[in-house]
Amino acid sequence: MRRGVLIYNLLFLAVVFNYRASAQTGDSTKLLNKVTVSALKKKNNFTAATPLQSLNSETLQQLNAPSVGDAARYFSGVQVKDYGGVGGLKTVSVRSLGAAHTGILYDGIPASDVQSGQIDLSRYSTTFVQSLDLQQAQLRQLLQPARAYSYGAVLAINTPVMYVNTFAGKQWRAGLKAGSFGLWQPYGGVQLPLARNMSVNISSEAVFSKGDYPFTIENGPDSEKSRRQNAGMRSLQGEINVAKLFDDSAVLQVKLFGYHSNRGLPGTVIFYNDRSVQHLWNKDLYFQTRYRRSLGKHTGFLTAGRYSNNYTRYTDPDYLNNQGGLDNRYTQREAYAATAIDHKIDDRITIAASSDVSYAWLSSNMPAFVQPTRWSFWNNMSLQFNGRLWQLTGSLLLSTVNDKTTTGTAAATINKLTPSITGNLRLGERSPFMMRLFYKHVFRMPTFNDLYYNMIGNTSLRPEYARQYNAGLVFSKQFSDALKHLTIGIDGYYNLVNDKIVAVPNKNLFSWTMLNLGRVDIKGMDVTAELSGQITGAVSWFSRIAYTYQRAIDITNPASVYYKNTIPYTPDHSGSGLFSLQYGRWSGGYSLLFSSTRYTIGENNPFNMLDGWGTQDAFLSWAKNMKAFRMQIKASIDNLLNKQYDVVRYFPMPGRSFKISLQLNNL
């Protein structure tokens, strides 16, 4: 089976490269144009055929969001599981499909975690992020790795290197953030020209935090004040980027990224017991490269590769076993390659093809560990039709996954075709209204933990399938008064999940296994609005609002007590808001997040209900251009009203906290 799949993929790649060679032959003589990159153009979400939300670097700083996981909460349709504090794990689920259905792209290349299927977004700092984009169904450009088409939604993290705007000369920035609960966060970055249209970008950031924030333990009429234990965090991340812009407009990007963290894992707080001694170490290192060029006037070519090595160590001295606790160590590695090509047949029709391959393997010090390996192949074909006022795009993805283990039985090989179709229609040449629709069928493979974890894994698991339907209306208009721009998007959606992978008791409550038991029915609506304007010549303002209503219920078994109950940690209502003002050197803003009540397990009763919550933040900053650099001082308050709340039950979140930062740069 593996040999047949490999031959198929090699043939697919041969067709792509043969097409590339033909395009080069047919365009053997051409004039090389001068390329000048001056500034980044702000994306217009109104033109996207599927719902697209973006936060640029300026907005990210206004949100007081230190990590990508914190920032993602400001997107409509997103739930972030947050275990509290600077070092608390943060995973994201879009429209209740689960974290494994959300793809993470870092500078255009997919990141993955084959062990758990969930990427901890607290590892990604927003300090050097140029834009954070969340798009449903698929990305707006056809020229993408095939793997990017396999997700229900894509969260793209883009640094300045992604935009190749680093050829203007030497640029640098350095800063320090300090805050409550022992937070110190120094960072620095520099961009240096190496040669004509070539630069190197080096950046690094460290985080030190005690994380010992106060909270109140409530137990009926009694309460007790305490401080969070075992929440300390020390981390260091850095990356080196080399970018080259060739005379023919081809772009080569090379990245080396490293991350090291040492953090305590604060435990649950139940009946005054907040003891926690669990600890987690992470050492991540990856290398990735991306090359993109035009082959003639109507053809684009993309190739990319990535190698990652992720080491995790987890200890729990309190775990009852013969070894005196747990000391589990895992190393997962992945080698990944992608190639893609698109061709504009005429003014109306564009075709694209892409093919990716991945080889991943996981090792551990656990006894009798099966050392699984996984070959994955993705082959995608896309076709796009463009009319004067409309656009229609269809794609068909073939996914092939083959597992092997050193002992025991491996999961069965999977071959699956999944289609998607998107369309949008503007209601007139100058109309501010646009309608959009999409349908997409996606699936996720069981993770290595689902399949092979000792005593829990089940190698008979089937993939989890989801069908997505979306219909939306967008209004976007420019004005000339105090309100200069207004964009509102309203999208209704329906998702149906089959063969949902869940953990259920096996022989007793202490012996669990993974099974395909679930069917989930998800209906919802996302509303996103952005407004900006100029009150006077010196005063400008910006506002962003996001709201989600959804109802996600279990429809697995009509005889079950869970039937038509809301799935865990899915509020009916959630949202966010941001308002900022800028006057000369001063800027200030206010932001909020809120969530309604939700249930902690599938049985919906008052005991399992978790109260809703809302937080409010504020900031004030001052900036001045000096002779050789620009200085900015910013002060912020998080959780302004000092509300105590849990995002995950028994994991209290921080109350009011303060932060001050100083940044120097010549940008």
> What pLDDT is recorded for position 502?
83
635 lies in some domain: yes
31 lies in some domain: no
> What pLDDT is recorded for position 453?
86
Q: State both tokens at 570.
A: 């899915």
612 lies in some domain: yes
410, 77 Cβ separation under 8 angstroms: no
480 lies in some domain: yes
Q: State both tokens at 255.
A: 């990245």
- Closest to 39 (Cα-Cα) out of 165, 157, 133: 165
> What pLDDT is recorded for position 17?
40
DSSP reduced 3-state for 6: helix
485 lies in some domain: yes
114 lies in some domain: yes
Domain with 369 in it: what CATH number? 2.40.170.20
**DSSP 8-state code for residue 196:** T
The helix (H) or strand (E) run that includes residue 62 is helix 57-62
226 lies in some domain: yes
- Closest to 145 (Cα-Cα) out of 23, 296, 288: 288
Range of 480's domain? 2-25+45-444+452-665
Half-sphere exposure of 456 (CA within 13 A, CB side): 14
Length of the chain counted residue by residue: 667
581, 588 Cβ separation under 8 angstroms: yes
586-595 and 573-583 beta bridge pairing: antiparallel
Tell me which residue has tokens 């009150």. 535
Full-model pTM: 0.90
- Closest to 488 (Cα-Cα) out of 473, 502, 500: 473
**DSSP 8-state code for residue 565:** P
Contacts of 551 (CB under 8 A, 6+ apart): 522, 523, 524, 566, 572
> What pLDDT is recorded for position 95?
93
> What pLDDT is recorded for position 268?
84
158, 636 Cβ separation under 8 angstroms: no
153-158 and 102-106 beta bridge pairing: parallel
For the chain, which residues score pLDDT lower than 50? 1-40, 507-510
40 lies in some domain: no
Domain count, the chain: 1
The amino acid present at 54, given as its one-letter code, is S
C-alpha to C-alpha distance for 549 and 571, rounded to whole angstroms: 8
Q: Radius of gyration of the chain from Cα atoms?
A: 25
